[in-house]
Structure 1
Amino acid sequence: MGNKSPESPSTGSIDSEIKNQSSRSYFTLQVKLLMWKQYLLFSRNLKSTLFQIFTPVCICIFLVLLQQLATYSMSTMTDKHPPDLSLSKIPKCYGSGCITLGIAYTSPKTTKMSEHILSYIAENNDLKINDDIKVIANNYDDMIDYLAKYTNRTQTCLLLCTGPFKPPPNPIYNDTIVCDMDIPEARLFLYSILINSTITPLMYFSGFNSPQPVDYASLAVKRSIDEAIISFYSNGKYNNTIKTNVQSFPLPTNRWMSGYDIVTAAGAFYFFIPPMVTFVVLLIEIVREKEYKLRHGLSMMGMGHGPYWFSWFLTGIIFILIVSNSLIISGLACVFDLFLHAPYPILIMLFGFFSISMMCLAFLMSTMLTTTKSAYTTSYAIILAGLVLQFLLSNIDMIYLIYGDDVATWIKITRVFLALYPPFNFAKAFGDIALKSSSHYSTKSKRWVSGDDYTWSDLTRTIHATVQGSNVTVPSTFITFMILIGNSIMLGGIAWYLDHVLSSNRGTPDKWYFFLTPRYWGCKRSNRKVSSNISLQDLTTNFRIQDPSIISSSPLMLTEPGVSINNLGKIFKNTKLCGASSQIHAVNNFSLSIEKRELLAILGHNGAGKSTLISLLTGLAKPSYGSASIFGLDIAEDMKEIRKILGVCPQHDILWNELTPREHLILFGRMKNLPYDRVCKEADEKLCQVKLDYVKDKLVGTFSGGMKRRLSLAISGVGDPKIIILDEPTTGMDPINRRNAWKLIQEMKKDRVMILTTHSMEEADVLSDRVCVIVDGMLKCLGTPLYLKNNYGDGFRITLISKTPNDLCQLISRTFPSSRLIDSSGGSLVISLPLDRKDEIHSFFLTMEGYQNHNLRAHIEDWGLSNTTLEEVFMRVTGKKEQSH
């Protein structure tokens, strides 16, 4: 533990220790720790985890329901014994202005036959003439014009031949038709029925496999007309109704639909969903750690980037295996032919290779996205666009056509780009396996045929087929699997590159050509040390007071620094699309040395550069110029080794809401390669010191802001770090817990270098060995609190209470010439006396004790004496203090 560490060794021994530690393998340990952390996160986000695992089950159950629905729908299309229906009376046409039976004559005159037919139909069908039955025309042309003008007004139209007429042009008979034809031994009456096809049920309403629909109203009209004709010619002797039955043609089984398999037809669409759920979960979780600086927190405590990504890769592989097996088991339970006839290893490769490629795409997207909100939006957009494309790619014939022997050049180019799209390769491989192992539609047989066992030889066989008359040569399924592996390598490689060069990922981006440098591949020079000899000129360059005698009298000249900063600077460039670019010097030519066993407090207003300086020292930002070393290790070259001896309490809490305080301390402690027993003991002690032992097993997500700050403070000291950096550690704490935190900090600073940034002058005064003030990125003053008060303060501050403040003020000016009035209000005077005027200070005390200047003492009712505060020094140095004269 920090407060029980032995005497700090020399710089040489520190270097030796670091070299010995770097020779050990941290990789396996860090991967185990990160996997343990992710196990806790996913086990406590149980809903999300179960959703991933049971999505395949829901998909398979849904496919079973769709298969049952499809089977039922096909059964309704088959009717080998259609019903025998008896025709009844003519149905009435209901509706405003609707005519049940429209009558038209071929000539203006009527005949006895036509009059008999109308009266018979009306009497035997309960219809009214001039209401349900209405004469609409006296010739053929007028009838056609009427029907065209009044559409959907006439249910059935009857054309009675009452005089000769010439029919419209037709391929059968074009001569004049004479109604009164004398045929021996035959009686003939001509009529025609016109059917309103818009009222007749449409074909797609009556079923896919049904014949043309029957107009039962027209058949009833024909039966009634025939009865009327028989009645007319029999002189009323025949009054029996003609019994008429109607039966549709039998509906046979449709070859195109019989044996339809939903898995073959749409499996590539639905089985696309479970891997995409894993893709979304991984993308969101990685970006969440990035947005809330959780990855940066792990990096600052010594985590390597390799173990970080490898742990997420293992996490993804575990979920892929679980989800893929869940899908296979569900498919077997639902008795899908694809899963019954294809070998298990091939199915695992099918779903596993596709899922791995989508996992690598998640890694790639996570390097470019910075917020969880953008991750949600992007992932859902990818899924929606993918579902649309996958719906098209579910048709394996369409995929095979792309591999045609005589396709256009643009199709060949499209084929190359589609090969870079993992869902396309998945749909192609799925279709290859489904065409052999599952029921599928045979273009050769024009029907659905049963599947057969899919063998290992089928996996490597080139596919030759004829699709819609075109010969195609399709790569084998094995080659498609290799392409999926290539997709994973390509996406993973791009993710690896972007993770190095984008600043939002590692904090300090590498050059675009980083992989070409020998240093990246481990060929680097030995750890170089930055010189700790900072000249007096460097120290006085940016000081408000530049008197060397004043500086040399302060404890600034260090012989063995733990931290050495030499002309360090950070420039942020504000690049504009139009107009000149600007630069912001967040840290400007900063030089400083901090010795061991010392706590340095850094003061500065908001935006002064404190957090930027911390980011430079912890490796979250790369310096624009200058150098710095920590225990002889260069921050530009040896940050990996520095982080092994570094403890950080960042400005914003870097904590997982799903973990407990004890788990946090164990995670970060083990990250320092400390034994488990020691870490557990140290975790309990740290939690007791920050008064969190009573909630050590509670989730951090339930903590208040102050409790989280105390936990962050405890984390910074775990693992026995040689240097601890605290960025505003007591923000949000109540006074009692702030005092406890101060006590812990004072215990932690033994045998260590500590850097503390704060806005609390009291905190800096109590804790610091030295204080430095930063203004606009530049070091303005440096020294012990007392040294700064003496050199930048107003000397002794004296408060006087008087009923005659004006008279008192004049007397003080005459008695103590070097005094200066600071404030006068409400009968109270505040004056200052310089520390170097010892004679006046001595005289003042004699006056207050009543030994001299009795007239002056008579004007004073009460008085008080204090030294200059650190806050006044800060205000003066930063230029915020109004000068009074």
Structure 2
Amino acid sequence: MADSSHGPASFWTQANALLRKNITFQKRNLKTNVGLIAFPFILCLLLMLIQVFINNVMDKPGNNCGCTCIDTKGDGTCEKICGIEYSTLDQVATCPITSPQEWPVLLQIPAPEYRATRADFLPFTDLPDESCKRTGSCPVTILLTGSNQSFGESMAGNLFKGASSLNSSDILNALANVPLGSESIPESSNFLEPAFSSNLPIYSIRSQCAPNSTISVPVELVSTTLQQVVLLRCEAQTHKSFFLTAYDFLNSNENGYNVSIWYNSTYKDDIGSRPIGLVRTPRLVNLASNAYLNFLRGAGIKMLFEFVKEMPKSETQSRLDFSSLLGALFFTWIVLLLFPVILTSLVYEKQQNLRIMMKMHGLGDGPYWMISYAYFLFLSLVYMLCFVIFGSLIGGWVVVMEIFPGFALYRGLSEFAHYSMGIDGMRWKDLNDSKNGMREVLIIMIVEWLIVLLVAFYLDQVVSLGSGVRKHPLFFLQKFQKRPLLSFPRPSLQRQGSKVLVQIEKADVAQEMEKVEQLVLEPSTSYAIVCDNLKKIYPGNDGNPEKFAVRGLSLAIPRGECFGMLGPNGAGKTSFISMMIGLITPTSGTALVQGLDIRADMDRIYTSMGVCPQHDLLWETLTGREHLLFYGRLKNLKGAALTQAVEESLKSVNLFHGDVGDKQAGKYSGGMKRRLSVAISLIGDPKVVYMDEPSTGLDPASRNNLWNVVKRAKQDRAIILTTHSMEEAEVLCDRLGIFVDGSLQCIGNPKELKGRYGGSYVFTMTTSSSEEAEVENLVRRLYPSANKIYHISGTQKFELPKQEVRIADVFQAVETAKSKFTIYAWGLADTTLEDVFIKVARGAQAFNMLS
């Protein structure tokens, strides 16, 4: 492995490594990303195609205008004629109107309940009492003002002088002389006049102007037989009173005509600013003009106003605005498509412990959050920008609730959807519209982007949730403190002796504890790892007692040593490793790694630490080389040094030849993944390495190769290795510790342990079943205290005390026995490490059961 002496990687080096990894990871998911980006376009395209299909179905000639068959030549042949006169109400709007209907001119009359009456806020005393509203007899009032009283009286008398009855033989000309009015709401065009097809009356307006009246002119309303069907929707409040119109003649006289005409325009749409239909004002101008002509030239002079009519209209398409109906739904749906992608990516790294794996190899929180946030923000912006561009081409307590990001988002989406139903959509200038609230929404969301980022970062630091050591709630003040802030107090350095009970036969464990106590009082740089009374207790649930995973472990490991931890499943080995690498927090006690406390200085420990976890934590779409490049950059390797370190790592674990290193990790076998995890743990020259069962799943050749890698790697670094292979432990480990039920039972090198716990030989002999008794008699004659430990189908094993055995006597006895009966096989073996492990484990478990 290449040596790195450049110190911890800088913030920008870490950010660069993470960004490169993210970009490479996204390249591996190119198809998914293309599909994600293309989906809104495909969806919009599909929506557009559905719209075109619906329009084509609806826009057939038979759907636009009604048709009939007429015998135009009188010969019995039928000619098909289509037009508005044969159409249904649904078809009328799309039919061509080449000769629009001529409609009599109308005035807009206030409904009876809204006509002007005497009130405190009106200065006019000649208005009728409000009681007329109950009987519906209130007259319509016209307000006349001006500076010339005689002129005003003359104009008032000339306004309404029409005949009292209509001439049925020339109805249109007769209506030109009689001012008419209606309470109905006008349409947006003059193709149809709702006043002539409604249940509301049409009034013939006559003057009831009182003599010498200078303020207001009541007029009599005479109901005609014409009826109306549309009910009046008046937006007036109860305190409002309406006039038919108001004429201000200003300074008009016989030498000059200057008039302002005021009219009601109270019919608004839901937005509250735009009229819902035409304004009936032409007759108001005509009345004033005729009155002035009569004043100047006499009663015989008139400008007849017979009718109003619309301009001819061409045929329009019959269509259903399908896009607008589903616009809000698709806006919300498409925008939210990116959310689960981002969430899945973050949760994936958390769930697979990839986040903590990156931290273990030196990735700081600052670069992680900066790159992750900026990266996903960039994706979101590009995603939304593409969506907005595509859309452009085809096209009080609320504020408090918007503090919650979801409400602000949906408020903005709602406004977008509302404007999308218009012609122009939402423009930049609409942000200043106080009625839509978009400006407030954008301000809130920008502020929340910053606040939520800080809150998420803070919670990530102080709430571990089982995936890292949580920091003190005031960790951000640490730089201003002389001493680091801890979540719990450090143990006192003045110790009065060990509080852990040690059995007399565990002299080696007691000696290790004394060494740790001395190192705590007098630290030594030659020891890379010092564990001081480390404990981990899991609280009991559902009535179960507490679980003691680690019971006061004291251990000191110098540089250049590979320490092996042996123990049955559930002994606490993985819990110990998890505390050392920062996955879980110790219940009490502590450990020093390179002189740094695991409870307070884990971020600094990560820069010089390597980890091969029990389960492979890999990105399946990244290659082996890309993994090593990423973790090498986190260890501050650059340029040629990085390239060389990656090449050597791949070669050392036999992943270099045949382009294996350039295959995606998801295509690796279990053994190849394991070898890659070992290479990751050793890249960048870490001073402390943890290997949790590194050879699991390896074939014998790969395992032997891995052992050579570990042997070379332990120079000048401390390695803690857990394994279930006694052979591996004996080959790799300088010292071993057998861990049972959370406690260290014994410690020493393999030879010491075998000598201490293996004071016997194992004698094995295989004969026919009929001669088993002869074998047992042979052994008893030689060693009466021998203990039979195995017996099956002629094969027997005996445990012989070492102090009684002379190997020459055993060989001589076997040679003599061969002349008496047939011996298929025999052997004399020293105690193995596996025998030691079983003996210690059984003894410890029996002791714990008794205690």
TM-score bracket relative to the smaller structure: 0.5 to 0.7
CA deviation profile, 1:307-337 (whole Å, cap 9, x unmatched): 2222221221221232123223323443x1x
For 2:532, the equivalent position in structure 1 comes to 566
On the 8 A contact 1:53/1:322 being kept in 2, the answer is no
- 1:29 lines up with 2:13 in the alignment: yes
- 1:676 lines up with 2:676 in the alignment: no
CA distance in 1, matches of 2:582, 2:484: 19
Deviation at 1:530, TM superposition (A): 8.9
Runs of 5+ consecutive residues of structure 2 not aligned to the other structure: 72-191, 195-311, 847-851
For 2:331, the equivalent position in structure 1 comes to 271
**Where in structure 2 are the equivalents of 1:461-472 lying within 5 Å?**
461-463=433-435
CA distance in 1, matches of 2:341, 2:605: 33
3-state secondary structure, aligned to 2:703: helix
Q: 1:499 aligns with which of 460, 466, 483?
A: 460
- 1:299 lines up with 2:359 in the alignment: yes
For 1:753, the equivalent position in structure 2 comes to 718
CA distance in 1, matches of 2:708, 2:814: 46
CA distance in 2, matches of 1:485, 1:791: 70
Residues 874, 531 of structure 1: CA spacing in aligned structure 2 closer, same or farther, 3 A cutoff? farther
**Where in structure 2 are the equivalents of 1:512-551 lying within 5 Å?**
514-515=473-474, 518-519=477-478, 524-525=483-484, 541-542=501-502, 545-547=505-507
For 1:370, the equivalent position in structure 2 comes to none
For 1:619, the equivalent position in structure 2 comes to 582
CA distance in 2, matches of 1:612, 1:882: 19
Q: 1:459 aligns with which of 431, 434, 439?
A: 431
For 1:347, the equivalent position in structure 2 comes to none
Deviation at 1:299, TM superposition (A): 1.7
Deviation at 1:866, TM superposition (A): 2.0
For 1:137, the equivalent position in structure 2 comes to none
For 2:470, the equivalent position in structure 1 comes to 509
Q: 2:446 aligns with which of 485, 499, 516?
A: 485
3-state secondary structure, aligned to 2:797: strand
What letter matches 2:400 in structure 1?
Answer: V
For 2:288, the equivalent position in structure 1 comes to none
What letter matches 1:673 in structure 2?
Answer: N
- 1:654 lines up with 2:617 in the alignment: yes
Deviation at 1:550, TM superposition (A): 10
3-state secondary structure, aligned to 2:32: helix
Q: 2:32 aligns with which of 45, 48, 66?
A: 48
Residues 478, 849 of structure 1: CA spacing in aligned structure 2 closer, same or farther, 3 A cutoff? closer
CA deviation profile, 1:180-203 (whole Å, cap 9, x unmatched): xxxxxxxxxxxxxxxxxxxxxxxx
For 2:107, the equivalent position in structure 1 comes to none
CA distance in 1, matches of 2:590, 2:693: 24
Deviation at 1:453, TM superposition (A): 8.9
What letter matches 1:518 in structure 2?
Answer: L
CA distance in 1, matches of 2:329, 2:17: 38
3-state secondary structure, aligned to 1:562: strand
The sequence identity of aligned pairs, in percent, is 32
Residues 83, 729 of structure 1: CA spacing in aligned structure 2 closer, same or farther, 3 A cutoff? same
CA distance in 2, matches of 1:256, 1:419: 46
3-state secondary structure, aligned to 2:469: coil
CA distance in 1, matches of 2:460, 2:588: 23
For 1:766, the equivalent position in structure 2 comes to 731
3-state secondary structure, aligned to 2:446: helix
Residues 669, 286 of structure 1: CA spacing in aligned structure 2 closer, same or farther, 3 A cutoff? same
What TM-score do you get using the length of structure 1 for normalisation?
Answer: 0.60
CA distance in 1, matches of 2:49, 2:574: 59
Residues 537, 826 of structure 1: CA spacing in aligned structure 2 closer, same or farther, 3 A cutoff? farther
For 2:600, the equivalent position in structure 1 comes to 637
Residues 332, 47 of structure 1: CA spacing in aligned structure 2 closer, same or farther, 3 A cutoff? same
CA distance in 1, matches of 2:795, 2:498: 44
Deviation at 1:731, TM superposition (A): 0.7
What letter matches 1:545 in structure 2?
Answer: E
CA deviation profile, 1:457-511 (whole Å, cap 9, x unmatched): x423423xxxxxxxxxx54x32221122244345434433442344347422346
For 1:590, the equivalent position in structure 2 comes to 553
CA distance in 2, matches of 1:829, 1:33: 61
CA distance in 1, matches of 2:36, 2:442: 24
3-state secondary structure, aligned to 2:619: coil
Q: 1:325 aligns with which of 382, 385, 392?
A: 385
3-state secondary structure, aligned to 1:459: helix
Residues 613, 550 of structure 1: CA spacing in aligned structure 2 closer, same or farther, 3 A cutoff? closer
CA distance in 2, matches of 1:882, 1:618: 28
Deviation at 1:621, TM superposition (A): 0.5
CA distance in 2, matches of 1:459, 1:703: 54
What letter matches 1:831 in structure 2?
Answer: F
CA deviation profile, 1:691-715 (whole Å, cap 9, x unmatched): 1112111111111111111111111
Residues 54, 543 of structure 1: CA spacing in aligned structure 2 closer, same or farther, 3 A cutoff? farther
Residues 601, 857 of structure 1: CA spacing in aligned structure 2 closer, same or farther, 3 A cutoff? same
Deviation at 1:737, TM superposition (A): 1.0
CA distance in 2, matches of 1:516, 1:460: 42
For 1:726, the equivalent position in structure 2 comes to 691
What letter matches 2:478 in structure 1?
Answer: R
For 1:784, the equivalent position in structure 2 comes to 749
Residues 26, 522 of structure 1: CA spacing in aligned structure 2 closer, same or farther, 3 A cutoff? farther
CA distance in 1, matches of 2:320, 2:482: 63
CA distance in 1, matches of 2:509, 2:344: 59
Deviation at 1:256, TM superposition (A): 14
3-state secondary structure, aligned to 1:574: coil
On the 8 A contact 1:530/1:632 being kept in 2, the answer is no
On the 8 A contact 2:408/2:445 being kept in 1, the answer is no
- 1:866 lines up with 2:850 in the alignment: no
What TM-score do you get using the length of structure 2 for normalisation?
Answer: 0.62
What letter matches 1:650 in structure 2?
Answer: P
Deviation at 1:614, TM superposition (A): 0.5
CA distance in 2, matches of 1:794, 1:280: 63
CA distance in 2, matches of 1:575, 1:549: 32
Deviation at 1:575, TM superposition (A): 3.1
CA deviation profile, 1:75-129 (whole Å, cap 9, x unmatched): 5699786322469xxxxxxxxxxxxxxxxxxxxxxxxxxxxxxxxxxxxxxxxxx
For 1:340, the equivalent position in structure 2 comes to none
Residues 614, 82 of structure 1: CA spacing in aligned structure 2 closer, same or farther, 3 A cutoff? same
CA deviation profile, 1:221-268 (whole Å, cap 9, x unmatched): xxxxxxxxxxxxxxxxxxxxxxxxxxxxxxx99999999876666544
Deviation at 1:690, TM superposition (A): 1.5
CA distance in 2, matches of 1:833, 1:532: 48
On the 8 A contact 1:425/1:483 being kept in 2, the answer is no
3-state secondary structure, aligned to 1:730: coil
What letter matches 2:363 in structure 1?
Answer: M
CA deviation profile, 1:36-85 (whole Å, cap 9, x unmatched): 11112222112221122223322432443355457557756997863224
3-state secondary structure, aligned to 1:602: strand
What letter matches 1:830 in structure 2?
Answer: K
Residues 498, 256 of structure 1: CA spacing in aligned structure 2 closer, same or farther, 3 A cutoff? farther
CA distance in 1, matches of 2:449, 2:512: 62
3-state secondary structure, aligned to 2:719: strand
For 1:830, the equivalent position in structure 2 comes to 797
For 1:847, the equivalent position in structure 2 comes to 809
For 1:575, the equivalent position in structure 2 comes to 541
3-state secondary structure, aligned to 1:272: helix
On the 8 A contact 1:723/1:753 being kept in 2, the answer is yes
| More helix, by proportion | 1
CA distance in 1, matches of 2:567, 2:609: 23
On the 8 A contact 1:666/1:679 being kept in 2, the answer is yes
- 1:879 lines up with 2:842 in the alignment: yes
Residues 43, 827 of structure 1: CA spacing in aligned structure 2 closer, same or farther, 3 A cutoff? closer
